[in-house]
Amino acid sequence: MKKVFLLLLFLIFGVSSHGAAEQKVSILLYHSIDEFTGHGLKGLYVTPENFEKQMTYLKEHGFTLLTFEQWQEREKVNKPIFITFDDGYKNNLKAYAIFQKLKTPNFQPKATIFAISDFVGRPNRLTAAELKALADSGIFSIQSHTATHPDLTKPTTNYEYQFKASKEKIERMTGKTVFVLSYPFGKFNERVLEEAKKYYQYGLTDNPLIHTENGKTNKNYLIPRQYIFYSTTLEEFARIVE
């Protein structure tokens, strides 16, 4: 009887702590790391100065930065967090420089760039050689944000091109596996999720609440993310990540 009781306690404790750990992990969403000079949406920029303050906060507060290669380890490390950048902008090199500056034996920066495969090499985007160098740095994982950044919910979408061809193209650039997709504009429907499952292990939204809304159905293809904006203060940042 006592054994059964102990087992029950273990199960309850095990299950609840597992649940708590899973909810705690933040996945942050960035686009441009640059001064805003009037191009595009200001909200999609974070200045290098603010980005450095935010990453320094993570460093000083004992966070462990992860990429999706380590998704299964997120419950085993201290304060797991995922840093992601959508669209593959060239200014993400500024984030790279900041990570190199902050890197110590105890703080190993990791982040994921979601590149748009057909946009690679355009004037304001990272080139194939830069993506390869970032992937080889051990800091960045390069994953897919589709081939041309379409609204994937449109019935005319060529999923094989957007999902399979983009994955293969980025894999040829970096020599590393592409297994994570971030949905352009955060838009998806049932069809998008079914198609994504053919080529990817994980799908990322741009919605911080999606995970809890949808429960465990399609869990790995509805991973929530938290936007960090131009206007996000360090106090707000701390509230988001803690």
Q: Specify the residue, 119 or 237, whose C-beta has the smaller distance to Zn ion.
A: 119
Supply the minimum distance, in Å, between the C-beta of residue 149 and Zn ion.
Answer: 6
Binding of residue 206 to Zn ion (CB under 5 A): no
Q: Which residue has the tokens 């920029």?
A: 45
Supply the minimum distance, in Å, between the C-beta of residue 88 and Zn ion.
Answer: 9
Binding of residue 86 to Zn ion (CB under 5 A): yes
Single out the segment in contact with Zn ion by CB under 5 A; choices: 34-42, 82-90, 196-204, 225-233. 82-90
Q: Specify the residue, 34 or 86, whose C-beta has the smaller distance to Zn ion.
A: 86
Position among 87, 130, 195, 206 found at the interface with Zn ion (CB under 5 A): 87
Footprint of Zn ion on 176-205 (CB under 5 A): 184
Q: Which residues bind Zn ion (CB under 5 A)?
A: 86-87, 184
